[in-house]
Structure formats: C-alpha cells, structure tokens
Amino acid sequence: MTRPTIEIDGAAVHGIPSLYAELDRAFMPDEEWTLGESLDALDDLLYGGFGVLHGADGARVVWHDAELSRAALGVETTRAYYRAKLDRPDVYAAAPARRALEALDRGEGETYFDLVLRVFRGHTEVELVLD
C-alpha cells in the first residue's frame, strides 16, 4: 500500500469556496468531478476510494501557510456560513446553526477552520501537519 504526501497551499484559501477548490487541486487532480462545498464531502474524501487517496493506506497532509487559512476561515466566514444555513430553513435545521452563532458570539464557538480540523482528526490514518 502507498501513503502519499499531499500538500495544501493555505495561501490559496480565502474562504470556503477556495478551500474546496484547493482540496480538489490537492486531492483530486485526475478526477473529472469536484467536491461539494461541505464538511460531509471532506469527510467522505478522507475515507479514500477516489482521488489520490484511492488505494492508499492513509496519507500525510501538509497544510502550508495554515495560519492564513485559519484567518480566512475565521469567525466572520463562519458567521456567514451559519447565516446562510438560517436563510435555508427548507434545507437546514435552524436550531444547530443558531446555537453555533450564539457560541461564536460568546467567543466559544468553533470556526470553519476548526470544523475542518475536527474532520481531519476523525481520520487517524491521515496525518495532518500544519505548517
């Protein structure tokens, strides 16, 4: 089995859409389709089965300029993410989004960057290095 090293360019991340564009570039260069912009899609990606993780025995992911990504996916981006969910009550449950916004307002909530890191932590076969 192989264990590739995948490099994420944190300077290319300016918000949620560009995060997923960068993940597509890094993890799926030969795929004809792209990831949806969702944490569930990231979770599915890290399970493997497609892209550079297809047939791999885990991976080492080096996230260069991670602090730039952390800033881009910070509190304001996260607020906008949850507000967009509240604008779509036909698709998303409002209560969890409201609770997340309240936690952010108290300075206790996770940012989108934190949520992404949580998804990575759920995959022990994927070593994430923040550089």
pLDDT for 1? 60
Domain shared by 40 and 98, yes or no: no
Q: What is the pLDDT of residues 34-81, one digit of tens each?
A: 999 999 999 999 999 899 999 898 999 999 999 999 999 999 999 999
β-bridge pairing 5-9 and 126-130:
unpaired
Domain shared by 96 and 51, yes or no: no
Domain shared by 64 and 125, yes or no: yes
Alpha-carbon distance of 106 to 3, in angstroms, equals 41
Q: What is the pLDDT of residues 89-116, one digit of tens each?
A: 999 999 999 999 999 999 999 999 999 9
Domain shared by 60 and 84, yes or no: no
Domain shared by 62 and 97, yes or no: no
Domain shared by 11 and 49, yes or no: yes
Domain shared by 103 and 62, yes or no: no
Number of domains in the chain: 2
pTM (2 d.p.): 0.95
4: containing domain: 1-73+119-131
